[in-house]
């Protein structure tokens, strides 16, 4: 399978890293980069193939578009000249299926929103397929994207908020990690140990929540003993608007 990329900035490079990390041969990844040296620098690290023109992706099985939205029209004007059998998946903001099919009518186009943990195979990508996608083409997309984490089909009108929750929250979680580690340090834990404890706690808590059949609140209930330290912490979080801060953060990110 040959995978083409147009654009290898923050999210494109994260996806390429994830694919190579999953065992895809770098020779099977063809990348058309932008104007800067960024793609060449990345190639030194990852050894994929760089192509000079978009048309050089004509023999790939799937083309992933990861350019900024301002470049989309130019990219599709070039794609429409040669695309026949390739599946097109765009992760660029504004790539609605209607937009893509205005250049490639009735073609198997999909709009996807990945997040940066795709670089280590732990991402989550929401995807909406054009109705023209057949099962074989969906399998091809799954084969590529499930190497980078979870792939979830989402109605197109929900992709925006999906992307906000899955794509912006890693930054919020980074702040959470830093703040909890600061609190550990404030109370005497060495910095490195504090980060180690917090990060592993988050991994474990997330896996437990994922594997648990019940509501996450039950997990919280199980560790809050009457009058104990954890419920005192929960009360302090409520007093300081923890839930509200997170809801407001997602709203602010989503409704900009």
Q: Where are the beta strands (DSSP E) in the chain?
A: 3-6, 29-32, 49-50, 62-65, 87-90, 109-113, 123-129, 149-153
| CB closer to ligand NAP, 38 vs 58 | 38
Q: Which of 68, 204, 228, 233 binds ligand NAP (CB under 6 A)?
A: 68
Among 18, 20, 32, 97, binds ligand NAP (CB under 6 A): 32
Distance of closest approach, residue 199 Cβ to ligand NAP, in angstroms: 20
Q: Which two tokens stand for residue 234?
A: 């929960």
- Assigned token pair, 213: 């059949």
List the x/- string, 73-112, binding to ligand NAP by CB under 6 A.
Answer: -xx---------------xxx-------------------
CB of 156 to ligand NAP, least distance (A): 15
Instruction: Identify which of residues 21 and 197 has a Cβ nearer to ligand NAP in the complex.
Output: 21
CB of 232: closest distance to ligand NAP in angstroms?
37
Query: Phi and psi dihedrals of 84, rounded to 5?
Result: -125, -70
Q: Is 225 strand, coil or helix?
A: coil
- Which residues, in sequence order, are bridge partners of residue 87? 62
CB of 65 to ligand NAP, least distance (A): 8
Within 10 Å of residue 20's Cβ, how many Cβ atoms? Answer: 19
- Give the Cα-Cα-Cα angle 61, 66, 69 (nearest 5 degrees): 130
Query: Residue 32: beta bridge partners?
Result: 6
Decide if residue 152 touches ligand NAP (CB under 6 A): no
Q: Helix, strand, coil shares of the chain as percentages rounded to 5?
A: 60, 15, 30
With CB under 6 A as the contact rule, the residue among 3, 4, 11, 62 that binds ligand NAP is 11
CA nearest to 134, candidates 154, 155, 107: 107
Q: Judged by CB under 6 A, does residue 30 bind ligand NAP?
A: no
Size of the site for ligand NAP (CB under 6 A): 28
State which residue has the least CB distance to ligand NAP.
9
Instruction: Quote the least distance from Cβ 75 to ligand NAP, whole Å.
Output: 5
- 53 sits near ligand NAP (criterion: CB under 6 A): no
Residue 237 CA, chain-centre distance (Å), reads 29
How many separate helices (H) and strands (E) can be counted in the chain? 11, 8
Q: Tell me if 104 sits within 8 A of 130, measured CB to CB.
A: no
The least CB distance from residue 206 to ligand NAP, in Å, is 19
Binder to ligand NAP among 116, 137, 164, 194 (CB under 6 A)? 116
Task: Confirm or reject binding of residue 34 to ligand NAP (CB under 6 A).
Answer: yes
- Binding-site ranges for ligand NAP (CB under 6 A): 6-12, 32-36, 38, 66-69, 71, 74-75, 91-93, 113-116, 167
């Amino acid at each position: 399978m040959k995978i083409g990329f147009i654009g290898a900035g923050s999210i494109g490079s994260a996806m390429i890293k994830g694919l190579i990390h999953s065992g895809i041969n770098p020779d099977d990844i063809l990348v058309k980069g932008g104007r800067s040296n960024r793609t060449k620098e990345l190639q030194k690290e990852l050894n994929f193939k760089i192509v000079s023109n978009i048309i050089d992706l004509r023999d790939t099985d799937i083309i992933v578009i990861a350019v900024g939205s301002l470049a989309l029209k130019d990219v599709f004007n070039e794609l429409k000249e040669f695309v026949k059998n390739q599946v097109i998946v765009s992760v660029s903001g504004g790539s609605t299926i209607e937009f893509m099919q205005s250049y490639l009518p009735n073609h198997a186009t999909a709009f996807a929103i990945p997040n940066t943990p795709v670089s280590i195979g732990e991402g989550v990508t929401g995807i909406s397929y054009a109705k023209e996608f057949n099962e074989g083409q969906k399998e091809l997309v799954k084969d590529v994207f499930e190497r980078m984490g979870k792939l979830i089909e989402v109605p197109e009108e929900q992709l925006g908020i999906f992307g906000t929750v899955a794509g912006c929250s890693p930054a919020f979680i980074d702040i959470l990690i830093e703040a909890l580690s600061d609190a550990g340090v404030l109370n005497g834990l060495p910095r490195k140990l504090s980060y180690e404890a917090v990060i592993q706690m988050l991994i474990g808590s997330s896996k437990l929540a994922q594997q648990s059949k019940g509501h996450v609140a039950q997990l919280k209930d199980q560790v809050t003993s009457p009058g104990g330290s954890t419920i005192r912490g929960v009360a302090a979080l409520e007093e300081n608007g923890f839930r509200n801060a997170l809801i407001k953060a997602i709203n602010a990110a989503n409704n900009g």
